[in-house]
Amino acid sequence: MPLVQFHQAIQFEVYECAECGIPFGLSGDFVRRKREDHASWYCPRGHPQSFKGESEADRLRKLLADANANATKLAQRALDAELAEQKAETARRKLEKRVRAGVCPCCSRSFVNLKRHIATKHPEQKGKAA
């Protein structure tokens, strides 16, 4: 039976134990998984090691969540502003209709000559209503 040989190249990243300082190698895939799950592993002398900081994926997830929250807030503000604008326009139209019908916007009384009434009784409103 012939002997079958195969070769696989694995690249290692060199790390030092935080406790004893011994250098050791970890594969890139192992480092990626441990940065994501923050689980512990051990140096060759048995000291526990871990990546406690925020991983790149965690940071990006947080950024995405913040961006989504900001987009939601901005959309709500835009909707609120649009509703306020619609309410103001409706109030303006109602007031305009009442003035055309001869109802004083200040005292809510009806007059045949509203312009004269505004000029004599409400001079501070002159030019605003009629």
Q: Are residues 101 and 127 in the same domain?
A: yes
pLDDT for res 130: 47
End-to-end CA distance of the chain: 109
Residue 108 phi, psi dihedral angles, 5° rounding: 55, 30
Number of domains present in the structure of the chain: 2
Q: Which domain holds residue 95?
A: 85-130
Q: Which segments of 1-130 are extended strands (E)? A: 12-16, 23-27, 41-42, 48-49
In a domain, 80, yes or no: no
Q: pLDDT averaged over consecutive 10-residue blocks of the chain (130 residues)?
A: 82 94 94 90 95 84 96 97 97 91 88 85 70
